[in-house]
Amino acid sequence: MDRKETDVYLRLDPARLPRHIAIIMDGNGRWARRRHMPRVAGHRAGVAAVRSTVETAARIGIPALTLYAFSEENWKKRPRTEVDFLMRLLCHFLKAEIKTLNQNNIRLKYIGRQHELPKSVQREMEEASTATSQNTGMLLTLALNYSARSEIVDAFRSLADAASRNGGLAHMEVDEQSISDHLYTRGLPDPDLVIRTSGEMRLSNFLLWQLAYAEIYVTQTLWPDFRGVQLLEGIEDYQKRDRRYGGLAPDGNATKHPRRVSSEAKR
């Protein structure tokens, strides 16, 4: 870690780190536009932010990190040229980062409707996942062609399919646990902290079921400018929260540390 990261890290309580952090990586287009560059330049610059964030999270012992890389809406609504560039960038990233992932003992997996992605991209995804499958450190999950609503639809389809093979729909039992067991993220703890870059105040159809009790941290920093120090600042803010899951604080009053936007938003 560099000096700035170390300064923030020393203010953290290692015993209260989030088990799972989810990040909505936003602002690539605005970053490029402010520099009078094409949108794809912002996507390319965002790779450095991914690398720094992933490495910092792994170094400090975060068990799970999920990055919202490519939404189902991106796939359907962005220009074909931009989508094609993103697919090539993803393939390049997966090839280039396997060595670094292994050096940091990071295991890679994916969520989303992967079968809809180009076959060449699916092959690169499979190769990278296999190459890191024996690692035992942080689990890095990339949300690709992901939609939370589609995930919930797919979970109910899976529940119905399982019931049809086990005596029919009359035997289908639906509760929170059974739904969670059929989500893409089954086996992962729900995120404790969700970070959104670029100052936008919405979840954008990301992990809607899993983020029910997550703490939300919003920073004005655009994704290409986001680094490990900003991740640590988000964790520092998270550790000031009083997480009550719908209950009362020990003294019966509201939390002493209300949820807030990062200080950058106040400038």
pTM of the model: 0.90
Q: pLDDT value at position 2? A: 86
- CA distances for 26 relative to 1, 42, 199, 250, angstroms: 24, 10, 9, 37
Is 166 a residue of the active site?
A: no
What are φ and ψ of residue 233, in 5° steps? -65, -35
Residue 256 pLDDT class (50, 70, 90 cuts): very low
- CA distances for 81 relative to 36, 39, 71, 214, 228, angstroms: 19, 11, 16, 35, 31
Q: Which residues pair with 193 in a beta bridge?
A: 21, 215
Instruction: Give the chain's end-to-end CA distance (angstroms, integer).
Output: 27
Is 84 a residue of the active site?
A: no
Q: pLDDT value at position 131? A: 98
Structure tokens at 76: 């359907």
* Catalytic residue, candidates 13, 74, 104, 190: 74
* Closest by CA position to 205, among listed 141, 144, 148: 148
* Catalytic residue, candidates 2, 7, 13, 26: 26
Residue spans of the domains in the chain: they are 3-12+19-146+190-243+253-266, 147-188
Q: pLDDT value at position 251? A: 62
**Is it the case that residue 194 has pLDDT exceeding 50?**
yes
**Is it the case that residue 85 has pLDDT exceeding 70?**
yes
Tens of pLDDT, residue by residue over 14-66, are 999 999 999 999 999 999 999 999 999 999 999 999 999 999 999 999 999 99
Q: Minimum mean pLDDT among 52-66, 135-149, 171-185, 199-213: which range? A: 171-185
Residue 173 pLDDT class (50, 70, 90 cuts): confident
**Is the separation of the CB atoms in 54 and 65 below 8 Å?**
yes
Q: What angle do CA 148, 90, 31 make, to 5 degrees?
A: 80
* Domain formed by 3-12+19-146+190-243+253-266, architecture: 3-Layer(aba) Sandwich (3.40)
- The residue count of the chain comes to 267
**Is the separation of the CB atoms in 58 and 138 below 8 Å?**
yes
Residues 6+ apart with CB under 8 A from 106: 54, 58, 132, 135, 137, 138, 139, 140
Better pLDDT: 77 or 121:
121
**Is the separation of the CB atoms in 101 and 58 below 8 Å?**
no
* Closest by CA position to 9, among listed 48, 51, 61: 61
Write down the H helix ranges in the chain.
3-9, 28-34, 39-60, 72-77, 80-103, 119-131, 148-164, 176-180, 228-239
